[in-house]
Amino acid sequence: MMLYDLLIAPFADFGFMRRALVASLALSVGGSAIGVFLILRRMSLMGDALAHSLLPGAALGFLLGGLSLPAMSLGGFLAGVATALVSGVIARFSSMREDASFAAAYLTAMALGVLIVSLRGSAVDLMNILFGAILAVDEAALVLVVSTATLTLVGLAAIYRPLVVECFNPGFLAAMGIRGSVYHYLFLSLAVLNMVAGFQALGTLMALGLILLPAVASSFWAREVWSMTLVAAPMAFASALIGLLVSFHVGLPSGPVIVLFASLFFLGSLLLGSRASVRARLSHPVHLRG
């Protein structure tokens, strides 16, 4: 009975816990695939910049429509896509690298978003946007998260081959007369869409943690794109499941607890993983490898 009360009763007795669990599952499935590609494309910090760039759009949606899911989601998506496009244009037509242009854009967007919220909202409104509240996910937000996960999987399946080639050998696509930038921006659009769905539940500061940390952890266990995704998704969902239970029983905020458990999966993978981990390097020293 004690085990039932600890693990099952919170989801059986409370609808908000069930909605949070389904939202976590959808975020884990869609976000893990995005996270793996962000890692392979060495865009982890750019992903952070994209997540922060949602803030002014979400804040403007909040300013115009209050806590309206369509207004904040559309505003966040447009702001994220605009940041990606502007950063790409700056990098293409100047000597600035794309990561530097992303950093400049996200810092500007972050300051602008906080300013917009302060015009009408309060510190509580700003905290809700920044850190989210997965236990407050309603049916409309749940539909958004599940739809985003479905669209992500379908979209990545459609562009999988050229996207993988563009990750490792962009010159090959150019030689074939294929514009890799098209797939690059399609992928960025899917990434922004997942961050929009994630910030509705975890906030702009926490959403990327559930997307990136399991993906990084999976790199210590698998090497192919598909296998990394298959490892990352269960890690992300387990982090969310354990985090929800701990936050429910202990009374801690859910988003940070979920991300901290994802960090524990990363730390465990770093120490014990089968590939390039501390354990693997100690058991097979580099100078003894043939």
- The full 3-state SS of the chain, as one line of letters, equals CHHHHHHCHHHHHCHHHHHHHHHHHHHHHHHHHHHHHHHHCCCHHHHHHHHHHHHHHHHHHHHHHCCCHHHHHHHHHHHHHHHHHHHHHHHHCCCCCHHHHHHHHHHHHHHHHHHHHHHHCCHHHHHHHHHCCHHHCCHHHHHHHHHHHHHHHHHHHHCHHHHHHHHHCHHHHHHCCCCHHHHHHHHHHHHHHHHHHHHHHHCCCCHHHHHHHHHHHHCCCCCCHHHHHHHHHHHHHHHHHHHHHHHHHHCCCHHHHHHHHHHHHHHHHHHHCCCCCHHHHHHCCHHHCC
Q: pLDDT tens digit string along 218-264?
A: 999 998 888 999 999 999 999 999 999 999 999 888 888 999 999 99
| CB of 284 closer than 8 Å to CB of 49 | no
Residue whose entry in the numeric block shows the structure tokens 């294929």: 178
Split at pLDDT 50, 70, 90, the class of 121 is low
* Other beta carbons within 10 Å of 230: 16
Q: Is the pLDDT at 111 greater than 80, yes or no?
A: yes
Residue 181 and residue 211: Cα distance in Å, rounded? 23
pTM for the full model?
A: 0.86
pLDDT of residue 242: 95
Q: Is the pLDDT at 171 greater than 90, yes or no?
A: no
Q: Is the pLDDT at 289 greater than 70, yes or no?
A: no
**Mean confidence (pLDDT) of the chain:** 83
Q: Is the pLDDT at 193 greater than 60, yes or no?
A: yes
| CB of 49 closer than 8 Å to CB of 226 | no
Split at pLDDT 50, 70, 90, the class of 272 is very high
pLDDT of residue 125: 59
pLDDT of residue 154: 95
Q: In residues, how long is the chain?
A: 290
Q: Is the pLDDT at 101 greater than 90, yes or no?
A: no
Residues 45-49: what's their mean pLDDT? 76
pLDDT of residue 47: 77
pLDDT of residue 45: 73
Split at pLDDT 50, 70, 90, the class of 69 is confident
Residues 29-35: what's their mean pLDDT? 92
pLDDT of residue 127: 65
pLDDT of residue 62: 77
Both tokens of 21, joined, read: 């669990």
Give 263's contacts (C-beta < 8 A, 6+ positions apart): 209, 213
Split at pLDDT 50, 70, 90, the class of 136 is confident
Residue 64 and residue 283: Cα distance in Å, rounded? 59
Residue 20 and residue 254: Cα distance in Å, rounded? 10
Q: Is the pLDDT at 1 greater than 60, yes or no?
A: no
Least-confidence region, from 73-77, 106-110, 157-161: 106-110
